[in-house]
Amino acid sequence: MKKINRRDFLINTSAVAAIASTPGMAYSQVFGSSAPFTDYRALVCVFLHGGNDSFNMLVPNSTAEYNAYAASRQNLAIPQGDLLPINPVSLAPGSEPFGLHPSMAGMQTLFELGNAAFVANLGPLVEPTSKTQFQEQSVILPSQLFSHNDQQSQWHSLKGANTSKTGWAGRIADLIEPDVTGQAMATNASLSGTNLFQSADSTFAYVMGEAGPLQFAGFSDDPANILFDQRLAFQNIIEAQYDSIYERGFADTQRRAIDVADRIFAAIRNAEDSGIITTVFPTTPLGGQLSTVAKLIVSRDELSMQRQIFFVGIGGFDSHDNQNRDQPGLLAGISEALAAFYAATVDIGLADSVTTFTQSDFGRTLTSNGDGSDHAWGGNQIVLGGAVRGRDIYGSFPVLEIGGAEDVGGGRMIPSTSADQYAATLAKWFGIRDADLDAIAPNLSNFAQRDLGFMIP
């Protein structure tokens, strides 16, 4: 066994504590205290890193619109006969005007059963923008369009042309903080690293791994393991009395991190042992993350949770190359994991209380670069859950035509619906008052429609 010196020991134990400990959360409060919320609701953000080519995920299927799509997409176009037909309720029954990528059978089923919807041509906007206004630069545009990092930040923060140190999930957590003081976990929890989406002024996100809280290096719960003695030694260190306020603060941080991690691990194990979730999740990173989210939802009463926002994510969507080879597997992975997660919420009996939604850096160009597509702007997103007004497409689906009314060049589509409207609709369902939505979505007042209508109150 490698000998661990004092410096390495403290680094290994404090690294996780720095992530897991969150001074803004009321861990020291009495668990189970009453709160204004009388129900449980959760939002689950699935971020598709790299920029999902979503105009191959949701495809127009009527003759004229499909022909425009096929002419624009060239070698990237999905053969019309391979599309999985869907029938939005707002359109004529049986017309089959849209189809899904052939690898998304799970999403087709969820859509047709009314448990899923799409929001079309969605993206960051500061104000409604036409092609002429874009070309004349007569409107305010989001900063650094078509850049991965900047557009991820746009989705996370809704910052528009400004800068922001907080994300819209973080602002929600700050707003409801007085109402959820009895929660044993933070409102925000990430299973995919730290992110701007959940950054806040006064609250903190709890960051964990795919299977739960990150474990402390150098510890063991097994008394027969030598690492058990190291845990006891560290326990004695943090329980000691210190004169310095900094030493006491550091010890308290370590102690709370251990206590919270232990409590959440126990809750996850209890959820596994309960047998409530019978759905089998795919053995993929996204499947693993969503499986853990489902277990944490099972544990909501044990952890005294009323409101939670989860962040999960996967990469691989930056399809400059090998798109025809890689996209089927990527979209199948989304479809299978989301279908399993929805089934798990049914197992738990909370399908109406959990809403899952996708975000991605940006849409991609309609034009082919020969082997893939490049960075663009507007794209399509998925919303899923029992409270979703499903089996429909919200927003305005554009004509996918090079040089058309929404194309600002190279098949980059101007969004017709803003990310602020999307976020505000989700936040309102989560329990945020209409009067507070502008604090969550700073550009919302520039748009006539504050609620896109895809959620049942």
For 299-322, write each residue's pLDDT tens digit.
999 999 999 999 999 999 999 999
pLDDT, position 403: 95
**Domains held by the chain: number:** 1
What tokens does 170 get? Answer: 């973080």
For 107-128, write each residue's pLDDT tens digit.
999 999 999 999 999 999 999 9
For 46-99, write each residue's pLDDT tens digit.
999 999 999 999 999 999 999 999 999 999 999 999 999 999 998 866 556 999
Average pLDDT, the chain: 89
The answer to which of 139-148, 236-245, 300-309 has the lowest mean pLDDT is 236-245
Q: Structural domain of residue 314, as residue ranges?
A: 6-446
pLDDT at 241 over 60: yes
pLDDT, position 36: 76
Q: What is the 3-state secondary structure (H, E, C) of 122-179?
A: EECCCCCCCHHHHHHCCCCCCCCCCCHHHHHHHHHHCCCCCCCCCCHHHHHHHHHHHH
**Residue at 290 is within a domain:** yes
Separation of alpha carbons 431 and 307, rounded Å: 9
Nearby residues of 237 by Cβ (< 8 Å), 6 or more positions away: 251
For 424-443, write each residue's pLDDT tens digit.
999 999 999 999 999 999 99
pLDDT, position 255: 62
**Residue at 456 is within a domain:** no
**Residue at 454 is within a domain:** no
Other Cβ atoms closer than 10 A to 128: 15
Residue 413's Cα: distance from chain center in Å? 23
**Residue at 37 is within a domain:** yes
**Residue at 213 is within a domain:** yes
**Residue at 76 is within a domain:** yes
pLDDT at 102 over 80: yes
Contact 294, 348 (CB under 8 A): yes
**How many percent of the chain have pLDDT more than 70?**
84
SS3 of the chain: helix, strand, coil, percent, to 5? 40, 15, 45
**Residue at 377 is within a domain:** yes
pLDDT, position 260: 80
pLDDT, position 80: 97
Q: What is the pTM of this model?
A: 0.88
pLDDT, position 368: 97
**Residue at 453 is within a domain:** no
